[in-house]
Structure 1
Amino acid sequence: MSKRVINAFLSYGDERAPVKVEVFLNLSCPYCATIFQVADEILIPYIEKGQVQYVIKHYDKPREMLLYGTLVNSFLDYQDPPRVYEIIKQLFATQRQWSESDSDSIKKMLIDVYQLQEQPDNIDFSLNIIEEAIQRQVKMVPTVFINDKEFQYPIEINAQQLKDKIEQVLAV
Protein backbone atom coordinates (compact mmCIF):
# COMPACT_ATOMS: atom_id res chain seq x y z
CA MET A 1 0.00 0.00 0.00
CA SER A 2 1.35 3.41 -0.90
CA LYS A 3 2.12 6.11 1.62
CA ARG A 4 -0.44 8.83 2.33
CA VAL A 5 0.61 12.33 1.29
CA ILE A 6 0.20 14.99 3.98
CA ASN A 7 -1.19 18.44 3.22
CA ALA A 8 -2.88 17.10 0.09
CA PHE A 9 -5.30 20.04 -0.02
CA LEU A 10 -4.97 20.33 -3.80
CA SER A 11 -4.81 16.69 -4.79
CA TYR A 12 -5.55 15.19 -8.18
CA GLY A 13 -5.82 11.47 -8.83
CA ASP A 14 -6.28 8.44 -6.62
CA GLU A 15 -4.68 8.70 -3.18
CA ARG A 16 -3.92 4.94 -3.49
CA ALA A 17 -1.90 5.50 -6.69
CA PRO A 18 1.58 3.93 -6.58
CA VAL A 19 3.28 7.17 -7.69
CA LYS A 20 3.01 10.34 -5.62
CA VAL A 21 4.12 13.54 -7.33
CA GLU A 22 4.22 16.50 -4.97
CA VAL A 23 5.14 19.93 -6.28
CA PHE A 24 5.98 22.86 -4.02
CA LEU A 25 5.32 25.93 -6.14
CA ASN A 26 4.33 29.58 -6.01
CA LEU A 27 2.07 31.26 -8.55
CA SER A 28 4.47 34.20 -8.99
CA CYS A 29 7.45 32.02 -9.94
CA PRO A 30 8.15 31.71 -13.70
CA TYR A 31 9.88 28.34 -13.24
CA CYS A 32 6.77 27.12 -11.40
CA ALA A 33 4.65 28.10 -14.42
CA THR A 34 6.87 25.93 -16.59
CA ILE A 35 6.85 22.88 -14.28
CA PHE A 36 3.07 23.21 -13.92
CA GLN A 37 2.71 23.10 -17.70
CA VAL A 38 5.09 20.13 -17.90
CA ALA A 39 3.17 18.29 -15.18
CA ASP A 40 -0.14 19.11 -16.88
CA GLU A 41 1.10 17.53 -20.11
CA ILE A 42 2.87 14.52 -18.58
CA LEU A 43 0.76 13.59 -15.55
CA ILE A 44 -2.85 13.75 -16.80
CA PRO A 45 -2.82 10.32 -18.54
CA TYR A 46 -1.25 8.70 -15.45
CA ILE A 47 -3.79 10.39 -13.17
CA GLU A 48 -6.65 9.18 -15.36
CA LYS A 49 -5.33 5.58 -15.16
CA GLY A 50 -5.08 5.76 -11.35
CA GLN A 51 -1.28 5.48 -11.46
CA VAL A 52 -0.35 8.95 -10.14
CA GLN A 53 -1.56 11.16 -7.34
CA TYR A 54 -0.50 14.73 -8.13
CA VAL A 55 -0.44 17.13 -5.18
CA ILE A 56 0.13 20.85 -5.61
CA LYS A 57 1.49 22.57 -2.52
CA HIS A 58 1.45 26.33 -2.82
CA TYR A 59 4.49 27.47 -0.86
CA ASP A 60 3.97 30.97 0.49
CA LYS A 61 7.70 31.43 0.81
CA PRO A 62 8.65 34.78 2.32
CA ARG A 63 10.47 36.26 -0.63
CA GLU A 64 9.60 39.56 -2.29
CA MET A 65 9.16 38.19 -5.81
CA LEU A 66 6.73 35.55 -4.51
CA LEU A 67 4.43 37.81 -2.47
CA TYR A 68 1.81 38.24 -5.20
CA GLY A 69 1.60 34.45 -5.47
CA THR A 70 0.90 34.36 -1.75
CA LEU A 71 -1.83 36.97 -2.23
CA VAL A 72 -3.44 34.88 -4.98
CA ASN A 73 -3.19 31.73 -2.85
CA SER A 74 -5.19 33.42 -0.10
CA PHE A 75 -8.16 33.58 -2.53
CA LEU A 76 -8.12 29.99 -3.86
CA ASP A 77 -11.04 27.84 -2.75
CA TYR A 78 -9.34 24.65 -1.58
CA GLN A 79 -12.77 23.01 -1.21
CA ASP A 80 -12.98 22.86 -5.03
CA PRO A 81 -9.66 21.39 -6.29
CA PRO A 82 -10.80 20.88 -9.93
CA ARG A 83 -11.78 24.55 -10.26
CA VAL A 84 -8.58 25.65 -8.48
CA TYR A 85 -6.56 23.59 -10.97
CA GLU A 86 -8.19 25.41 -13.90
CA ILE A 87 -7.67 28.78 -12.23
CA ILE A 88 -4.00 27.96 -11.53
CA LYS A 89 -3.60 26.94 -15.18
CA GLN A 90 -5.07 30.27 -16.34
CA LEU A 91 -3.04 32.29 -13.82
CA PHE A 92 0.20 30.65 -14.90
CA ALA A 93 -0.71 31.33 -18.55
CA THR A 94 -1.22 35.03 -17.77
CA GLN A 95 1.45 35.29 -15.07
CA ARG A 96 3.44 38.04 -16.79
CA GLN A 97 0.45 40.37 -16.93
CA TRP A 98 -0.83 40.09 -13.37
CA SER A 99 2.48 39.50 -11.56
CA GLU A 100 3.75 42.89 -12.78
CA SER A 101 0.64 44.61 -11.45
CA ASP A 102 -0.09 45.76 -7.90
CA SER A 103 -1.89 44.02 -5.05
CA ASP A 104 -5.15 45.99 -5.44
CA SER A 105 -5.34 45.16 -9.16
CA ILE A 106 -4.64 41.49 -8.44
CA LYS A 107 -7.41 41.36 -5.80
CA LYS A 108 -9.80 43.03 -8.26
CA MET A 109 -8.87 40.48 -10.96
CA LEU A 110 -9.45 37.56 -8.57
CA ILE A 111 -12.85 38.91 -7.57
CA ASP A 112 -14.06 40.11 -10.98
CA VAL A 113 -12.56 37.55 -13.36
CA TYR A 114 -12.59 34.41 -11.18
CA GLN A 115 -15.41 35.29 -8.73
CA LEU A 116 -13.12 34.45 -5.81
CA GLN A 117 -13.07 35.85 -2.33
CA GLU A 118 -10.45 35.71 0.36
CA GLN A 119 -10.50 32.34 2.13
CA PRO A 120 -9.71 32.60 5.88
CA ASP A 121 -8.89 28.86 6.11
CA ASN A 122 -6.06 29.29 3.62
CA ILE A 123 -3.91 30.81 6.37
CA ASP A 124 -3.92 27.44 8.15
CA PHE A 125 -3.31 25.55 4.90
CA SER A 126 -0.40 27.86 4.13
CA LEU A 127 1.13 27.45 7.58
CA ASN A 128 0.88 23.65 7.30
CA ILE A 129 2.66 23.69 3.94
CA ILE A 130 5.33 26.10 5.23
CA GLU A 131 5.93 23.79 8.21
CA GLU A 132 6.21 20.79 5.88
CA ALA A 133 8.57 22.68 3.57
CA ILE A 134 10.81 23.49 6.53
CA GLN A 135 10.77 19.88 7.73
CA ARG A 136 11.57 18.58 4.23
CA GLN A 137 14.18 21.31 3.74
CA VAL A 138 12.52 22.74 0.64
CA LYS A 139 14.71 25.73 -0.15
CA MET A 140 13.31 26.83 -3.51
CA VAL A 141 10.30 26.66 -5.75
CA PRO A 142 9.59 24.64 -7.67
CA THR A 143 10.66 21.55 -5.80
CA VAL A 144 9.27 18.21 -6.97
CA PHE A 145 9.03 15.03 -4.94
CA ILE A 146 8.35 11.72 -6.66
CA ASN A 147 7.62 9.15 -3.97
CA ASP A 148 9.66 11.26 -1.52
CA LYS A 149 12.70 11.57 -3.80
CA GLU A 150 13.46 15.27 -4.24
CA PHE A 151 14.22 16.99 -7.54
CA GLN A 152 14.96 20.63 -8.25
CA TYR A 153 13.44 21.97 -11.43
CA PRO A 154 14.89 22.76 -13.98
CA ILE A 155 18.31 21.54 -12.87
CA GLU A 156 17.54 17.98 -11.82
CA ILE A 157 14.36 17.12 -13.73
CA ASN A 158 12.74 18.06 -17.02
CA ALA A 159 9.64 16.77 -18.83
CA GLN A 160 11.25 13.60 -20.20
CA GLN A 161 12.95 12.83 -16.89
CA LEU A 162 9.63 13.29 -15.06
CA LYS A 163 7.99 10.79 -17.40
CA ASP A 164 10.96 8.41 -17.08
CA LYS A 165 10.88 8.53 -13.26
CA ILE A 166 7.17 7.73 -13.22
CA GLU A 167 7.66 4.84 -15.64
CA GLN A 168 10.56 3.59 -13.53
CA VAL A 169 8.43 3.53 -10.37
CA LEU A 170 5.51 1.89 -12.18
CA ALA A 171 7.79 -0.84 -13.57
CA VAL A 172 8.76 -2.04 -10.08
Structure 2
Amino acid sequence: MTNQIENTQLSFGQKDAPVKVEVFLNLTCPYCATFFGIAEDVLKDYLDNEQVEFIVKHYDKPREMLLNGTLINLFLDYENPSRVKEILKELFETQGQWDQLNNQEIKNVLAEKYQLKEEPQNTEISLNVTAEAIRRNVKMVPTVFINNKEYQYPTELSADELKAEIEAALTSKVV
Protein backbone atom coordinates (compact mmCIF):
# COMPACT_ATOMS: atom_id res chain seq x y z
CA MET A 1 0.00 0.00 0.00
CA THR A 2 2.42 2.69 1.16
CA ASN A 3 5.66 3.49 -0.54
CA GLN A 4 8.80 3.10 1.49
CA ILE A 5 8.88 5.98 3.96
CA GLU A 6 12.00 8.10 3.67
CA ASN A 7 13.98 9.95 6.31
CA THR A 8 12.85 7.96 9.33
CA GLN A 9 15.69 9.05 11.63
CA LEU A 10 13.13 10.40 14.13
CA SER A 11 10.63 7.56 14.09
CA PHE A 12 8.55 6.60 17.11
CA GLY A 13 6.33 3.56 17.50
CA GLN A 14 6.31 0.34 15.53
CA LYS A 15 7.79 0.35 12.03
CA ASP A 16 5.04 -2.04 10.90
CA ALA A 17 2.18 -0.07 12.51
CA PRO A 18 -0.85 0.19 10.21
CA VAL A 19 -1.00 4.00 10.40
CA LYS A 20 1.92 6.24 9.47
CA VAL A 21 1.85 9.86 10.67
CA GLU A 22 4.62 11.90 9.05
CA VAL A 23 5.17 15.56 9.87
CA PHE A 24 7.44 18.08 8.21
CA LEU A 25 8.12 20.75 10.80
CA ASN A 26 10.59 23.39 11.91
CA LEU A 27 11.41 24.23 15.52
CA THR A 28 10.96 27.98 15.04
CA CYS A 29 7.42 27.68 13.61
CA PRO A 30 4.68 28.41 16.17
CA TYR A 31 2.15 26.30 14.21
CA CYS A 32 4.58 23.38 14.36
CA ALA A 33 4.82 23.84 18.14
CA THR A 34 1.02 23.62 18.36
CA PHE A 35 0.87 20.52 16.17
CA PHE A 36 3.72 18.81 18.04
CA GLY A 37 1.91 19.37 21.35
CA ILE A 38 -1.33 17.96 19.92
CA ALA A 39 0.52 14.97 18.46
CA GLU A 40 2.25 14.27 21.79
CA ASP A 41 -1.15 14.02 23.49
CA VAL A 42 -3.21 12.32 20.79
CA LEU A 43 -0.65 9.80 19.57
CA LYS A 44 0.54 8.44 22.92
CA ASP A 45 -2.01 5.61 23.22
CA TYR A 46 -1.73 4.73 19.52
CA LEU A 47 2.06 4.52 19.86
CA ASP A 48 1.77 2.43 23.03
CA ASN A 49 -0.69 0.09 21.28
CA GLU A 50 1.59 -0.23 18.22
CA GLN A 51 -1.11 1.23 15.95
CA VAL A 52 0.81 4.29 14.76
CA GLU A 53 4.33 5.08 13.66
CA PHE A 54 5.08 8.80 14.12
CA ILE A 55 7.85 10.14 11.88
CA VAL A 56 9.20 13.65 12.51
CA LYS A 57 11.08 15.33 9.67
CA HIS A 58 12.75 18.62 10.53
CA TYR A 59 12.41 20.71 7.38
CA ASP A 60 15.15 23.32 7.11
CA LYS A 61 13.00 25.44 4.82
CA PRO A 62 14.98 28.45 3.55
CA ARG A 63 12.93 31.17 5.18
CA GLU A 64 14.32 33.82 7.51
CA MET A 65 11.94 33.18 10.40
CA LEU A 66 12.86 29.46 10.34
CA LEU A 67 16.65 29.83 10.33
CA ASN A 68 17.07 29.34 14.09
CA GLY A 69 15.25 26.02 13.79
CA THR A 70 17.64 25.06 11.00
CA LEU A 71 20.61 25.94 13.21
CA ILE A 72 19.25 23.82 16.07
CA ASN A 73 18.63 20.90 13.71
CA LEU A 74 22.37 20.76 12.99
CA PHE A 75 22.94 19.89 16.67
CA LEU A 76 20.29 17.20 17.19
CA ASP A 77 21.70 13.74 17.86
CA TYR A 78 19.68 11.59 15.47
CA GLU A 79 21.38 8.50 16.92
CA ASN A 80 19.26 9.04 20.05
CA PRO A 81 15.68 9.70 18.80
CA SER A 82 13.97 9.48 22.20
CA ARG A 83 16.26 12.19 23.60
CA VAL A 84 15.73 14.31 20.48
CA LYS A 85 11.96 13.98 20.97
CA GLU A 86 12.28 15.25 24.55
CA ILE A 87 14.47 18.15 23.39
CA LEU A 88 12.00 19.01 20.60
CA LYS A 89 9.14 18.98 23.10
CA GLU A 90 11.00 21.30 25.49
CA LEU A 91 12.19 23.63 22.72
CA PHE A 92 8.67 23.88 21.29
CA GLU A 93 7.31 24.67 24.77
CA THR A 94 9.94 27.38 25.32
CA GLN A 95 10.01 28.69 21.75
CA GLY A 96 9.29 32.28 22.78
CA GLN A 97 12.38 32.30 25.00
CA TRP A 98 14.94 31.39 22.34
CA ASP A 99 13.51 32.04 18.87
CA GLN A 100 14.95 35.58 18.69
CA LEU A 101 18.42 34.69 19.99
CA ASN A 102 21.40 35.09 17.69
CA ASN A 103 23.38 32.12 16.35
CA GLN A 104 26.02 32.14 19.08
CA GLU A 105 23.43 32.44 21.85
CA ILE A 106 21.53 29.46 20.45
CA LYS A 107 24.73 27.41 20.19
CA ASN A 108 25.48 28.27 23.83
CA VAL A 109 22.00 27.14 24.95
CA LEU A 110 22.38 23.87 23.03
CA ALA A 111 25.84 23.20 24.50
CA GLU A 112 25.11 24.27 28.08
CA LYS A 113 21.52 23.14 28.60
CA TYR A 114 21.44 20.04 26.38
CA GLN A 115 25.15 19.13 26.01
CA LEU A 116 24.71 19.08 22.24
CA LYS A 117 27.41 19.61 19.67
CA GLU A 118 27.19 20.04 15.92
CA GLU A 119 26.54 16.69 14.24
CA PRO A 120 28.31 16.53 10.85
CA GLN A 121 25.87 13.98 9.35
CA ASN A 122 22.90 16.30 9.97
CA THR A 123 23.67 18.39 6.89
CA GLU A 124 23.10 15.34 4.70
CA ILE A 125 19.94 14.41 6.63
CA SER A 126 18.68 17.97 6.15
CA LEU A 127 19.37 17.87 2.42
CA ASN A 128 17.56 14.52 2.12
CA VAL A 129 14.50 15.85 3.98
CA THR A 130 14.52 18.98 1.80
CA ALA A 131 14.70 16.86 -1.37
CA GLU A 132 11.79 14.75 -0.13
CA ALA A 133 9.79 17.88 0.73
CA ILE A 134 10.33 19.21 -2.78
CA ARG A 135 9.31 15.88 -4.36
CA ARG A 136 6.18 15.74 -2.19
CA ASN A 137 5.34 19.40 -2.85
CA VAL A 138 5.58 20.40 0.82
CA LYS A 139 5.37 24.18 0.75
CA MET A 140 4.66 25.03 4.38
CA VAL A 141 5.35 23.74 7.86
CA PRO A 142 3.74 21.92 9.43
CA THR A 143 2.68 19.54 6.70
CA VAL A 144 1.27 16.26 7.98
CA PHE A 145 0.71 13.05 6.07
CA ILE A 146 -1.48 10.32 7.54
CA ASN A 147 -0.97 7.22 5.38
CA ASN A 148 0.00 9.62 2.56
CA LYS A 149 -3.14 11.77 2.94
CA GLU A 150 -1.84 15.33 3.13
CA TYR A 151 -2.73 18.11 5.57
CA GLN A 152 -0.78 21.23 4.72
CA TYR A 153 -1.00 24.49 6.64
CA PRO A 154 -3.22 26.57 6.64
CA THR A 155 -5.32 23.41 7.06
CA GLU A 156 -4.52 22.78 10.68
CA LEU A 157 -5.45 19.58 12.42
CA SER A 158 -7.04 19.94 15.83
CA ALA A 159 -6.60 17.17 18.39
CA ASP A 160 -10.10 15.85 17.59
CA GLU A 161 -9.45 15.92 13.84
CA LEU A 162 -6.11 14.13 14.24
CA LYS A 163 -7.75 11.45 16.37
CA ALA A 164 -10.64 11.08 13.88
CA GLU A 165 -8.21 10.73 10.95
CA ILE A 166 -6.19 8.06 12.77
CA GLU A 167 -9.36 6.18 13.73
CA ALA A 168 -10.55 6.33 10.10
CA ALA A 169 -7.17 5.08 8.88
CA LEU A 170 -7.22 2.25 11.42
CA THR A 171 -10.77 1.29 10.42
CA SER A 172 -9.85 1.23 6.72
CA LYS A 173 -7.01 -1.19 7.57
CA VAL A 174 -9.40 -3.71 9.15
CA VAL A 175 -10.55 -6.23 6.56
On whether the aligned pair clears a TM of 0.5, the verdict is yes
Counterparts in 2 of 1:156 and 1:96: CA distance versus 1, 3 Å: closer
**TM-score, with structure 1 as normaliser:** 0.97
What SS does structure 1 have at the residue aligned with 2:114? coil
Q: Distance in 2 between matches of 1:98 and 1:17?
A: 35
Displacement, 1:156?
A: 4.5
Displacement after TM superposition at 1:44 (Å): 1.1
The residue aligned with 2:113 is 113
Q: CA deviation at 1:90?
A: 0.5
Would the aligned equivalents of 1:60 and 1:67 in 2 still touch at CA under 8 Å?
Answer: yes
Q: Secondary structure at 2:101's aligned position in 1?
A: coil
Number of residues paired by the alignment?
A: 172
Report runs of 4+ in structure 1 exceeding 3 Å deviation.
1-4
After TM superposition, give the deviation of residue 128 of structure 1 in Å.
0.4
The residue aligned with 2:38 is: 38
Alignment of 1:146-161 (within 5 A): 146-153=146-153, 155-161=155-161
Q: Unaligned 5+ residue runs, structure 2?
A: none
Q: Distance in 2 between matches of 1:18 and 1:3?
A: 13
Determine the C-alpha separation between the residues in 2 that align with 1:62 and 1:153: 17
Q: 1:50 to 1:3 in 2, by over 3 A?
A: farther
Q: Secondary structure at the match of 1:170?
A: helix
**Counterpart for residue 9 of structure 2:** 9
Match of 1:51 in 2: 51
Which residue of 2 is the match for residue 66 of structure 1?
A: 66
Contact 1:31–1:154 (Cα < 8 Å) also in 2: no
Contact 2:17 2:52 in 1 (8 A): yes
In structure 2, the residue matched to 1:92 is 92
- When normalised by structure 2's length, the TM-score is 0.95
Local SS of the residue matching 2:70: helix
Please tell me the root mean square deviation across aligned C-alpha atoms, in Å: 1.1
Cα shift at 1:4: 3.5
Identical residues among aligned pairs (%): 56
**Deviation by residue 1:71-98 (Cα, 9 ceiling, x = unmatched):** 0000000000000000000000110010
